[in-house]
Chain A
């Protein structure tokens, strides 16, 4: 119900969806850039806006078993990355609740 407004971020460097340029996250929210996704480099972000989450699935990644859910842009419905719901291994616990956005599907908005 109601119009789906976009959230706009205020920062000097903002990452946005490649297709529709909706704001997704800040440069300051990056936790790590040493990740790899299906399309190459991926970044781990603290908070992401303007996304829709899909259903959680359990996946086996190179670092172990995780429960993740795909996230997609609210506007153009393209998948931009995933979110870690649960990590089964202890050293990976810091990722829970954080988002991965693939660098190929991002642009620098501002």
Chain B
């Protein structure tokens, strides 16, 4: 039922109905509605038989409406007796230009909130209204410049920060060196007022700007000022005065600040949970450690490479300045520390006395990094490790005095079930006994780094065996839905002179076997594999093999098998040399001897210098600026 005065002749009814509903759904708080001369009327037509009719006809009628707008009345089926609802709406225009301008500003900002920052900046160039809209503060409450810090010019960045100002809650301007000497920079740092997180690593801001920023943002929770030379002890005092809610602070490598500033912050911020203060001086003085001890709030403490850090400082940190002695055991007693993660890497002055001080006093410790502390020996670890029941990460890189006894202590300690990552790289006294014990006892071990140690093929086979027959952890039901293999243990074993290609080949074979026949007796239905990072020459083959085994289907396993046998043939052929005549065995022996004596400047494990698959990590594949 379309009157001849309507603009459209009858196309399909479905098109009509669809367009009608689109228009109805667009009715919002649009200023056009204020031009409605007629209210919505509900009319009941009891005689209507055709329920499906949605008819359009112009309701110009009698000139009662304003002549400029000709309303259209539409009927929608309503109710069960064939009644219909008659609604008057403005007619649809051919051009759609005015829809955007009819929207209220909040809706426009809501539409723009779906764009990425880069697109927003581009859209701001459309016209003045769009410029104000795109730089609306609500869109920029998270200003994370990590993706575009090197592409955004300083004027746009300044504009964003100054207009977003009080709205910005999360600010990450790492690496924005374009802000260094610009005239707009003071305005930038004066703008944010309500920051929760600020990462300013690598922006060289002036001292005054940093002071303004800190004073104006009392709500700061996380602050990252690492590497800035303008951070000094007076800035630290300012932080202590202005930001009482501070939860995490990173002032690593701020060369002009030292432990005295840290002390002020620790005393003033009771919520401080994470503190990173690597390579800061004067940590050997007692007051800062006393402040840390008294507060006992810090959970993650990173004091790597602090030159002054010695045993006394650790003792004060853990026990306090004057610990009372337990009358029964005559040992110092203090409430346990809340430390979860402790990083004391490269603090070369630490000895076993520090470990003994830590023992019994950090029961909740989950991560311990002591890489580079060369003076630590087995004695200290024997005292410390049995008292850490929740240890999951342990890093003992380059602790050359550590031997297998420590690994055995670790494996037999209370944390064996929880350990996930152990790093003993460059510990030349670590060998098979310790590693074997570790992989046997630690079921949850996911990452073991023992490069540059004395581990040999025996440890590899033991590890594969242990992973394959890992007992299932109770309480977690195995999900039989996915039987695809997964990597359960990652072993890093490059540079180990005692690892040969036959050991690696054994691991590849075991991976295939584990994927092909998962052992249901252990009730872990997912086949657990080993991932190796081994000598560079074999790495492409190992990686290709692993990716095929991970697919899990029989065709992939068969191709993995073929790859392995081809590689083994290649290695055998290259080992035996061109001619298999007399003297080949002697040549092999000599080459093996030279292999074990390899040091100085290069690493040569036989003549098989490159993987068989031939995918060389190409030359010139460097990422240079």
- A positions within 8 Å CB-CB of B: 3-8, 20-21, 30-36, 44, 46-53, 61-63, 74, 83, 90-94, 96-99, 107-108
| Chain A residue contacts of B622, Cβ below 8 A | 47-48, 83, 97, 99
Per the bound structure, the CA–CA distance linking A108 and B370 in Å amounts to 12
Contact B603 A3 (CB under 8 A): no
Which of B175, B617, B624 has most A Cβ within 10 Å?
Answer: B624
Tell me if B475 is interfacial: C-beta within 8 Å of chain A: no
Contact B610 A35 (CB under 8 A): no
Per the bound structure, the CA–CA distance linking A30 and B452 in Å amounts to 13
* One of B90-98, B134-142, B210-218, B593-601 contacting the partner: B593-601
Contact B174 A33 (CB under 8 A): no
Contact B623 A31 (CB under 8 A): no
Given A47-B623, A91-B604, A96-B619, check contact A21 B253 (CB 8 Å): yes
Given A7-B625, A96-B619, check contact A33 B451 (CB 8 Å): yes
**A32-B603, A34-B599, A97-B618 given; 20 more Cβ-contact pairs under 8 Å:** A4-B177, A5-B175, A8-B175, A20-B227, A21-B226, A21-B253, A30-B494, A33-B494, A34-B495, A46-B617, A49-B624, A51-B624, A52-B625, A62-B601, A92-B602, A92-B609, A93-B609, A96-B619, A97-B622, A108-B345
| B610: contacting residue among A49, A53, A93, A98, CB under 8 A | A93
| Chain A residue contacts of B625, Cβ below 8 A | 4, 7, 49-52, 74
Contact B452 A34 (CB under 8 A): yes
Contact B174 A108 (CB under 8 A): no
Tell me if B426 is interfacial: C-beta within 8 Å of chain A: yes
| Chain A residue contacts of B345, Cβ below 8 A | 108
- B positions within 8 Å CB-CB of A: 146, 149-150, 174-175, 177-178, 202, 226-227, 253, 279, 304-305, 345-346, 371, 425-426, 451-452, 494-495, 535-537, 598-604, 607, 609-610, 616-625
| Chain B residue contacts of A96, Cβ below 8 A | 619
Q: Is the interface of B mostly helix, strand, loop or mixed?
A: loop
Contact A90 B452 (CB under 8 A): no
Which 5 A-B pairs rank lowest in CB-CB distance, beginning with the nearest? A97-B619, A5-B150, A63-B602, A62-B601, A34-B603
| A90: contacting residue among B149, B609, B617, B618, CB under 8 A | B609
> Which chain A residue has the least Cβ–Cβ distance from B425?
A33
Contact A36 B609 (CB under 8 A): no
